[in-house]
A and B are shown apart, each in its own frame.
Chain A
Amino acid sequence: MLSIEHFYIVLALFLFFAGGSNLRERRYAHAAFWSLLGVLFATGKLVLAASKAGNPLPSQLAGAAVIVLALLATRMRREHIAEAPEAQRQASASRLGHRLFVPALLIPAITVLIVLFGKYIVIFGTPLFGEGSITLIGLALACVLAALAAVVVTGERPIRAASEGRRLLDTMGWAALLPLVLATLGGVFAASGVGDAVASIVSAVIPADSRVACVLAYGLGMVVFTMIMGNAFAAFPVMTAGIGLPLLIQQHGAAPAILGSLGMLTGYCGTLMTPMAANFNLVPAALLELDDPNAVIRVQIATALPLLAVNLLLMYWLAFK
């Protein structure tokens, strides 16, 4: 009954609202950006269905829309949109007190409840939660319920939730879209054979007889490739197929479970250090309105490098019996 597609429609409506608000304020690039993104979200299911049925035209139009979004992004400025005055927020804070925490905490609480028990909710013989990741559906439903709770707690008009949400969305601007276009790039790279080319180069240059050299090549390769792709998941199959499996496991006898686990975690050290992992590194800088978009990465490097060293040592000690 409830599928993730329903919530993509909700999200599309929110994006249209953001587009409309910007249009009224004559910020045309922002208005076009959010509205076009809303169209992509609202029509996504149709595009994928057409693509599966062998009709590439909707996918091609969506691809062209992504390019237009990227062009619009260059015309968007990040600016702070005025908040409610501080005196008003202070007065409201002392009036509402701990009740303000309730809607914020409802988001994780409801998400967890739905993940744990959602599959048992059945209405008229059909499960309430249909296709798609239950965590994602749970999160989306939790957000809708939390927004309603926030309206009740604060006594504001419901439209205020949309306009305050739009304030935060425009504070982030194009940074909000980065995780999505980076994942898209991952898909394009995979379809273009980038991974195979990297694996072939790396395995050609390392001295395969040395166990230390192979461990270093695998670990550092995971870090570098994760930093380029922004995501250890994309690096893991490439590096493990290129170096881990033929050299470390088959030639030097490494234990696959240990090597895989530590290899992935070594990649995570790279995730901490790259702007390509936008949702973890650039989005929070935008959300927190930091002047330096790389401020979070700067803090993380000093944790990532010692941890990387520990991981390489663990790999060398634990993986070989």
Chain B
Amino acid sequence: MNYWPLLGVAWVVVGFVLRANPVIVVVSAGLVSGLAAGKSMPELLAVIGDSFISNRALLMFAVTLPTIGLLERAGLREHALQWIARWRGLTLARLLVVYLAARQGLSTLGLIDIAGHAQTVRPLLAPMSESAANRTPGLQEHGPLPREEIQRVHALAAATDNVGRFFGEDVFLAFGAVLLIQGFYAEHGIQLEPLQIALWAIPTAIAAFVIHAARIVFFQRGLARRMGSRKSSRMASHAVD
């Protein structure tokens, strides 16, 4: 067994820790591993080229950008904000928990790319979350959110999309992960039906929903607390003035 190709793994970890540009870290790690495995440079270049081109689908999200960009120019985010601001009883936590449930539910039906960071989070969910946070009782009294809190809300919106997607898609029969598991076992002489595999993803799907929904609720409470202490410290500093 040749253990030297593991140098590439260490290279990646060190590169990320040192905060070097990730693209150069990743590409050079491939060179390190390939050379350590005893490949010649021409051979290695061919592997990199073929592998890159076979994975072109991963840039496909860029075709959504012209639509989203044009709609943003025409005021999509501003309209989403104003519209959500008119809903009664809407809070940040309610909006995100409903989104989590919908995202997970749709993913279990195989509707996985219906939503996503480019499709729904940037144009809709992120601005709606911000607007909902500004209208949430316990938050709206403190005025508009400061920039760093807006960034936290946006990050939570993106995280909610990921959790809903990941822990819904595995319940879908024809999803790649289920077929990968089935194919792996079939190669090793164990025959399984996709349904058997997909059903056992349900307990984790429920746990993921409960845990992340609870975190959303706690986030909202923590946000209210931070806004409150920000306000009182500002008033205290005014009092000193």
Contacts and interface: CB of A to CB of B under 8 A. Distances in A.
A193 interface: yes
Contact of B45 (A64, A261, A288): A64
Question: Top 4 A-B pairs ranked by shortest CB distance?
Answer: A93-B75, A164-B69, A187-B51, A62-B49
A179 to B, nearest CB: 4
Please classify the interface of chain A as helix (H, G, I), strand (E, B), loop, or mixed, using the class held by over half of its residues. Answer: helix
A278 interface: yes
Nearest to B27: A70
Contact of B49 (A59, A261, A278, A283): A59
Contact of A192 (B39, B156, B215): B39
Given A98-B83, A140-B60, A201-B3, A165 B66 contact: yes
A160 B70 contact: yes
A56 to B, nearest CB: 4
Interface in B4-47: 5-6, 8-9, 12-13, 16, 21-24, 26-31, 33-34, 36-37, 39, 42-47
B135 interface: no
A14 B62 contact: yes
Interface in A133-156: 133, 135-136, 139-140, 143-144, 146-147, 149-151, 153-154, 156
Given A188-B8, A314-B203, 14 more contacts: A65-B49, A94-B82, A107-B64, A108-B119, A115-B110, A139-B63, A146-B67, A147-B67, A185-B29, A192-B8, A232-B177, A257-B192, A268-B170, A311-B207
Interface string B122-134: 1110100000000
Nearest to A44: B53
A216 interface: no
Interface stretch (B137-145, B157-165, B230-238): B157-165
Contact of A165 (B3, B42, B65, B121): B65
Contact of B34 (A71, A168, A188): A188
B149 interface: no
Contacts of A161: 66-67, 69-70
A68 to B, nearest CB: 10
A180 B33 contact: no
B184 A8 contact: no
Please classify the interface of chain B as helix (H, G, I), strand (E, B), loop, or mixed, using the class held by over half of its residues. Answer: helix
A210 interface: no
Interface of A: 4, 7-8, 10-11, 14-15, 37, 40-41, 44, 47-48, 51, 56, 58-67, 69-71, 73-74, 83-84, 86, 89-94, 96-98, 100-101, 103-104, 107-108, 111-112, 115, 133, 135-136, 139-140, 143-144, 146-147, 149-151, 153-154, 156, 160-169, 174-189, 191-194, 196-198, 200-201, 228, 232-233, 236-237, 240-241, 245, 249, 256-258, 260-262, 264-265, 268, 271-272, 275-276, 278-285, 287-288, 290-292, 295-296, 298-300, 302-303, 306-307, 310-311, 314, 318
A11 B64 CA distance: 10
B219 to A, nearest CB: 8
Interface of B: 1-3, 5-6, 8-9, 12-13, 16, 21-24, 26-31, 33-34, 36-37, 39, 42-80, 82-83, 110-115, 117-124, 126, 151-152, 154-159, 161-163, 166-167, 170, 176-178, 180-181, 184-185, 188, 190, 192, 196-201, 203-204, 207-208, 211-212, 215
A264 B166 CA distance: 11
Nearest to A191: B47
B36 to A, nearest CB: 7
B51 to A, nearest CB: 3
B46 A284 contact: no
Contacts of A282: 22
A71 B112 CA distance: 34
A47 B211 CA distance: 46
B8 to A, nearest CB: 6
Nearest to A75: B21
A180 B30 CA distance: 13
Contacts of A310: 204, 207, 211
